[in-house]
A and B are shown apart, each in its own frame.
Chain A
Amino acid sequence: DAKTTQPPSMDCAEGRAANLPCNHSTISGNEYVYWYRQIHSQGPQYIIHGLKNNETNEMASLIITEDRKSSTLILPHATLRDTAVYYCIVRVFHGSGNTGKLIFGQGTTLQVKP
């Protein structure tokens, strides 16, 4: 199973874009990259996921490099409420019977400052 590497912490000014990097150099061709965040010990919250192409939703954008060895989560206009631990996760899909196993790393603590 692929593992991910993230910086332990980052700061971002309120209103600016927050760019959170993730390295997943051992990722396999059928493994999706997921991003979740956890605000102050609440349950993790789904943000976005992708396989090869860049993705965008109402919360964020996900940029995946062409070789798929790294990705960047972009919060376009960070607010104080975006302060959280952000997890980059690789989910393995083996076909039928997949457990939805999420391999959580240490995550990046994003501090959004006024």
Chain B
Amino acid sequence: NAGVTQTPKFQVLKTGQSMTLQCAQDMNHNSMYWYRQDPGMGLRLIYYSASEGTTDKGEVPNGYNVSRLNKREFSLRLESAAPSQTSVYFCASSEDSARTNEKLFFGSGTQLSVL
């Protein structure tokens, strides 16, 4: 049982390059999320998808786009990477974001450096 799988684990980009971070979950969860973690900042929500076919902005969506490809997969795209997007990115999933006793399950993260 893999849970939440993120690829790649590490990536180095040059300013202005684009890339897509991939995330897949095998728990049949409805809701998926993308967070970023910077030193001393905790985790901040970038985008989320409450259910297949829907996506919404979180706290820090600027510079990112997302696609909920199907129920299993939720990708995060950086169209023109900037050094400020250097961070560790975590994907997470949960059964249903509207439930009161919701638990999030996180992937192992993608460490992204933008030079």
In the complex the two chains form, what is the Cα distance from A48 to B2 in whole Å?
21
The chain A residue sitting closest to B42, CB to CB, is: A104
A42 to B107, CA, bound (A): 8
> Given known contacts A100-B33, A107-B42, is B101 in contact with A49 (CB within 8 Å)?
yes
B62 within 8 A of A: no
Q: How many A-B residue pairs have CB under 8 A?
A: 61
| B102:A41 contact, CB within 8 angstroms | no
Q: Is A68 an interface residue (CB 8 A)?
A: no
B contact residues, range: 20 to 34
The interface-forming segment of B63-71, B74-82, B88-96 is: B88-96
Chain B residues within 8 Å of A100, by CB: 31, 33, 48, 94, 97, 102, 104
Q: Is B103 an interface residue (CB 8 A)?
A: yes
Contact between B42 and A97, CB atoms less than 8 A apart: no
The 3 A-B pairs with the shortest beta carbon distances in the complex, nearest first, are A43-B106, A104-B42, A100-B97
